[in-house]
Amino acid sequence: MSEKICYCFDYSEDDIVKDIEKNGKSAIMERIMTEKKEGGCQCAIKNPKGR
């Protein structure tokens, strides 16, 4: 099982790798970064490490 990368949107390390293999880049990482900038991130609540 791969490490969880994003608790807000439930993405794992494997999801990112598969996204890059399929698309040549990671749309997932772009989505995560955009959501964080726009305040759509709930990592402080959902991530057990609080980040």
One digit per residue, the tens of pLDDT, for the chain of length 51 reads 688 888 888 899 999 999 999 999 999 988 888 988 888 778 778 877 766
How many Å apart are CA 36 and CA 2, to the nearest integer?
22
Asked whether residue 40 is assigned to any structural domain, the reply reads yes
Which residues span the domain enclosing 15? 4-46
Asked whether residue 27 is assigned to any structural domain, the reply reads yes
Q: Of 2, 1, 6, which Cα lies nearest the Cα of 46?
A: 6
Asked whether residue 51 is assigned to any structural domain, the reply reads no
DSSP-based three-state secondary structure for 5: strand
Q: Which amino acid is at 6?
A: C
Q: Hunting for tokens 């807000």 — which residue is that?
A: 8
Asked whether residue 29 is assigned to any structural domain, the reply reads yes
Domain count across the chain: 1
Contact yes or no for 12/4 (Cβ under 8 A): yes
pTM above 0.85, yes or no: no
Asked whether residue 38 is assigned to any structural domain, the reply reads yes
